[in-house]
Amino acid sequence: MHTERVTIEGVDFETTLHLGGPVGLLALHGGVEGGTAELASTVAARTGATLLTFTQPTGPPTHIPSTRMSPCTPLTTFLAHTTLTISLHGHNRRSAPRTIYVGGSNRPAARVLATALSHRAPAFVPLTTLSEIPNPLRGLHPDNPVNQTRDGGVQLELPVQARTTHPAPTDPEVPPTEVVDALTAGVRLITERLSAVSESDEF
């Protein structure tokens, strides 16, 4: 586990990087979208996946869009090491408090995670139809790190209750057990499928 301070657009971040398997768990906005860094860390620890989280130890929380998270050393190392990225984000759409938007360029992997969420976290509704996902949450831009690994990736936009059981700012962030279990199962299946295909095959 390697921790490093980086500065992006004048904002100081603390990054935590652990190199593991070919699937990478990424939380770019751990300091802003509560519970995403903790959820990524827990799932990575359970599955042996590679992990990279960004948090903001000082200053007011600042949200820098994913497409502008510059290629700092930890992110460059993460992208070079992993084959497929699962990027965890948070949304606060009042009209969709139970909806998990499942975007990103790797649609087969997106469906694997959506199925795992449907089976193991039935209180939430995973949505994979891109035309029904709000455009800012689709995670399809080529400059978004989720799409910059060899097999692209999946961007999960999670409502508050799907990423933390303690949403008050003063409480520690504890991801819901059922969501942890669902993502763990999904990541394990994706990892198995990656190992079963040759480099020339599509996931």
> If 0-12 CB within 10 Å is exposed, 13-18 middle and 19+ buried, where does residue 52 land?
buried
Radius of gyration of the chain (CA): 15
Residues of the chain where predicted confidence (pLDDT) is lower than 70: 167-171, 198-203
pLDDT at position 201 is: 58
pLDDT at position 169 is: 59
Beta strands in 66-143 (DSSP E): 84-90, 99-103, 125-127
Backbone angles phi, psi at 134, to 5 degrees: -55, 135
Instruction: Count Cα atoms within 13 angstroms, Cβ side, for 81.
Output: 19
Q: What would the pLDDT profile of 122-150 be if each residue is shown by its tens digit?
A: 999 999 999 999 999 999 999 999 999 99
Q: Is 178 helix (H, G, I), strand (E, B) or coil?
A: helix
Q: What is the DSSP letter of 176?
A: -
Q: What is the DSSP letter of 200?
A: T
pLDDT at position 32 is: 92
Residue boundaries of the structural domains of the chain: 2-196
CATH pick for 2-196 out of 3.10.129.10, 3.40.630.100, 3.30.70.20, 3.30.1310.10: 3.40.630.100
